[in-house]
Amino acid sequence: MKKIILSMVLASVSLVAADTDNSRAVYKPGLLLPPQADLIYQKQCASCHGDNGLVMDHVYEDKIKGKKIVIAGMAKESLVKDLRAYRDAETPYSKYGLGALMKSATADLSWDEIDAVAEYVNGLK
């Protein structure tokens, strides 16, 4: 019995050690891990806002009336306020007519992750 328990413990330790080397690749929003803002941004935001926060997907231009929404360098406090509003609004909060889309992009983010992403976006130039 001791041998079985010992082998299970060693197998668990091996799996944890293997996962630690590649922890940035398995990060998912909402998990209780330190926020990795760059990975969250790439997964949740970059498809519309681009890798550098300077573009908005042309598919949404009709809703934003041709405005180019540049989020790179925006004030962290403003971003946090908007992202939390998108995430928690019972009726979609809509600053540019994209409330439902933004709600789905922020739905799984914790407060810490929202803060980290806002700081990351603030640092984009």
Domain containing 87 equals 2-123
What global pTM score does this model have?
0.66
Compute CA distances 88 → 49, 58, 85, 96, whole Å. Answer: 21, 26, 5, 17
- What's the pLDDT score for residue 29? 56
Count of domains in the chain?
A: 1
Phi, psi torsion values for 98, nearest 5 degrees: -120, 30
- How far apart, in Å, do the first and last CA atoms of the chain sit? 59
Give the highest mean pLDDT range of 57-61, 66-70, 88-92: 88-92
Instruction: Give residue-wise pLDDT tens across range 76-86.
Output: 999 999 999 98
Torsion of CA 8, 10, 13, 19, to 10 degrees: -90
Q: Give the domain CATH number at 114.
A: 1.10.760.10
Instruction: Give residue-wise pLDDT tens across range 24-50.
Output: 445 555 556 678 999 999 999 988 888
